Amino acid sequence: KAGVTQTPRYLIKTRGQQVTLSCSPISGHRSVSWYQQTPGQGLQFLFEYFSETQRNKGNFPGRFSGRQFSNSRSEMNVSTLELGDSALYLCASSSTGDGNTIYFGEGSWLTVV
Partner 1 sequence: EDQVTQSPEALRLQEGESSSLNCSYTVSGLRGLFWYRQDPGKGPEFLFTLYSAGEEKEKERLKATLTKKESFLHITAPKPEDSATYLCAAFDSNYQLIWGAGTKLIIKP
Dist. CA 25–CA 94, nearest whole Å: 8
Stretch that binds partner 1, among 12-20, 37-45, 59-67, 76-84 (CB under 8 A): 37-45
Return the residues of window 58-87 that contact partner 1 according to CB under 8 A.
Answer: none
Dist. CA 84–CA 38, nearest whole Å: 9
In the chain, the amino acid numbered 50 is F
> Which of 28, 42, 62, 84 touches partner 1 (CB under 8 A)?
42
DSSP reduced 3-state for 102: coil
Dist. CA 25–CA 50, nearest whole Å: 12
Rule CB under 8 A: is residue 99 a binding residue for partner 1? yes
**Interacting residues with partner 1 (CB under 8 A):** 4, 33, 42-43, 45, 56, 88, 90, 92, 97-99, 101-107, 109
